[in-house]
């Protein structure tokens, strides 16, 4: 039943009606994005990532607070950490948020007092670097990034983030409080229009802060280039859902007595776990939306594994090398994986996998700016070699046992000989030069 429902929805959002130029077609193309995110959520993989990050959060919460406490203590701003922690726990209700904030700060204070200036601070940083690595893995999964950061980059970037983030956050909040508390600002705030704008600003402040935080995460955490427009789009949706969901969760906790009846004294802990799970789910859903905004070719495929036939793989390999060879001869802007994917109308993961295969075969190289260029003279790259690499790329499974079957073996050998004879000594250079020769022949005729 569900298979038929999802098939019908796919037909609605990706069928012929969605390609029409009228308002209905435009509406269907816009609705593809929330539909794709909801479809991926229903398949459960994002939910599992969110659940695992709840466990990661529990392990990292006290080390993160202790490390931030120790860093801010150097600048005398460790007391400003309390309102930030309270904002995180506020959806649990005022009483529970105050209790959890107080306990977390007490534990963090005791831990940080024993590690400042000692080896323990380095151990805390090491623990947090490993924790952020798990968060990066989840974001890389959503962005289809197969290559994580190197160990050196991970340590340098994560440590810098852990040191600068709490200082900047507390500094921003302190500057905001100092500005709002100054006498000139207080005089201006008394004006009716400014007072109304201040009230609206206070109402929208949680949404803006969460949106800015999500935008920074979506741009910095994945090990790929994320456009700011895509990150901001996902962050706006995620920030609104986070703030609105927090208010709904607060209302549910305050007006529901079942948690207290069933879990008694553990109700606060259970509520904290539930809110942490919903928070990660919202954050990952926003990251998935950012990915689709930047890579709309994946909207229909979603999180499903891409499977191309052998014919598709051969065609992709030839077309990819042809584009590189043509640019190598005629000049112009070099190709990247994303540009080739847009040109061929394929998901980027298919082009990336084929590019990796051809790179391992020594036919192309990837520059430091992720541009693809032939690795050797295109006159020495044979078409048969390209096709052979595309056909024989590893599937990840064990090779089947070779059982002698003379009729089948002779047929396969004859097919292989026919392919080799048809390609002959045709090279990539010949393939690139063929179009100008054809145009010249037509012009003479």
Give the mean model confidence (pLDDT) for residues 181-207.
62
Q: Alpha helices, DSSP H only, in 15-44?
A: 23-42
Q: For residue 284, name the pLDDT band (cuts at 50, 70, 90).
A: very high
Give the mean model confidence (pLDDT) for residues 253-268.
59
Q: For residue 216, name the pLDDT band (cuts at 50, 70, 90).
A: confident
Cβ contacts of residue 334 below 8 Å, gap of 6+?
Answer: 327, 367, 371, 372, 373
Least confident residue range of 211-220, 411-420, 428-437: 428-437
| Percentage above 70 pLDDT, the chain | 69
0.85 exceeded by pTM: no
Give the pLDDT score at 237.
92
Give the pLDDT score at 445.
43
Q: For residue 291, name the pLDDT band (cuts at 50, 70, 90).
A: very high
pLDDT above 90: residue 286: yes
Q: For residue 276, name the pLDDT band (cuts at 50, 70, 90).
A: confident
Q: What is the set of domains in the chain, with CATH numbers?
A: 2-40 (no CATH), 44-298 (no CATH), 310-395+405-444 (1.10.10.10)
Contact in structure between 105 and 85 (CB atoms under 8 Å): yes
pLDDT above 70: residue 183: no
Give the pLDDT score at 414.
86
| Percentage above 90 pLDDT, the chain | 8
pLDDT above 70: residue 388: yes
Q: Could you tell me how many residues make up the chain?
A: 445
pLDDT above 80: residue 127: no
CA distance 445 to 443: 5
Q: Pick from 285, 242, 272: which is nearest to 57 by CA?
A: 272
Give the pLDDT score at 113.
56
Token pair, residue 307, equals 């499977």
Highest mean pLDDT of the ranges 107-116, 119-128, 145-154: 145-154
Give the pLDDT score at 252.
67
The sign one gets for the Cα dihedral 254, 257, 263, 265 is positive
The counts of H helices and E strands in the chain are 18, 3
Give the mean model confidence (pLDDT) for residues 335-355.
82
pLDDT above 70: residue 410: yes
CA distance 76 to 410: 81
Give the pLDDT score at 266.
63
pLDDT above 50: residue 440: no
Give the pLDDT score at 397.
46
Average pLDDT, the chain: 76
Cα angle 33, 135, 103; round to 5: 115
Q: For residue 441, name the pLDDT band (cuts at 50, 70, 90).
A: very low
Q: Pick from 357, 334, 229, 340: which is nearest to 291 by CA?
A: 229
Least confident residue range of 142-146, 234-238, 356-360: 142-146
> What tens digit of pLDDT does each residue of 8-49 get?
788 888 777 777 788 888 888 888 899 889 988 888 889 989
pLDDT above 70: residue 396: no
Give the mean model confidence (pLDDT) for residues 125-135.
77
Give the pLDDT score at 398.
47
pLDDT above 70: residue 112: no
SS3 (DSSP) at 373: strand
């Amino acid at each position: 039943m569900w298979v038929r429902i999802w098939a019908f929805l796919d037909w609605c959002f990706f069928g012929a009606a969605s390609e029409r130029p009228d308002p209905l077609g435009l509406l269907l193309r816009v609705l593809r994005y929330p539909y794709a995110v909801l479809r991926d959520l229903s398949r459960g993989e994002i939910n599992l990532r969110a659940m695992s990050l709840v466990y990661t959060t529990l392990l990292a919460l006290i080390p993160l607070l202790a490390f931030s406490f120790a860093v801010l203590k150097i600048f005398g701003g460790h007391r400003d950490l309390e309102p930030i922690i309270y904002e995180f726990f506020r959806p649990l209700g005022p009483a529970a948020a105050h209790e959890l904030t107080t306990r977390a700060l007490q534990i963090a204070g005791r831990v940080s007092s024993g590690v400042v200036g000692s080896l323990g601070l380095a151990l805390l940083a090491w623990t947090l670097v490993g924790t952020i690595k798990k968060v990066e893995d989840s974001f890389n999964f959503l962005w289809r990034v197969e290559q994580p950061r190197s160990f050196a980059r991970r340590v340098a970037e994560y440590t810098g983030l852990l040191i600068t983030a709490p200082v900047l956050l507390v500094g921003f909040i302190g500057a905001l409080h100092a500005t709002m508390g100054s006498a000139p600002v207080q005089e201006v705030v008394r004006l009716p229009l400014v007072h109304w704008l201040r009230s609206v600003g206070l109402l929208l402040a949680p949404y803006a802060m969460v949106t800015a935080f999500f935008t920074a995460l979506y741009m910095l955490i994945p090990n790929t280039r994320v456009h700011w427009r895509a990150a901001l789009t996902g962050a706006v949706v995620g920030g609104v859902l986070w703030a609105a969901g927090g208010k709904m969760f607060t209302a549910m906790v305050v007006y529901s007595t079942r948690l207290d009846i069933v879990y008694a004294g553990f109700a606060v802990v259970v509520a904290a776990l539930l809110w942490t799970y919903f928070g990660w789910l919202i954050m990952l859903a926003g990251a998935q939306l950012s990915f689709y905004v930047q890579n709309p070719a994946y909207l229909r495929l979603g999180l499903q594994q891409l499977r191309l036939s052998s014919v598709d793989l051969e065609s992709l390999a030839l077309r990819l090398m042809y584009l590189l060879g043509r640019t190598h001869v005629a000049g112009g802007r070099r190709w990247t994986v994303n540009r080739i994917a847009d040109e061929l109308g394929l998901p980027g993961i298919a082009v990336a996998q084929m590019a990796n295969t051809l790179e391992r075969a020594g036919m192309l190289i990837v520059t430091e700016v992720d541009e693809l260029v032939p690795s050797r003279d295109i006159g020495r790259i044979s078409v048969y070699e390209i096709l052979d690499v595309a056909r024989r790329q590893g599937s990840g499974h064990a090779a089947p046992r070779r059982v002698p079957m003379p009729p089948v073996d002779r047929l396969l050998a004859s097919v292989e000989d026919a392919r080799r004879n048809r390609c002959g000594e045709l090279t990539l250079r010949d393939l690139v030069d063929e179009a100008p020769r054809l145009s010249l022949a037509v012009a003479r005729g």
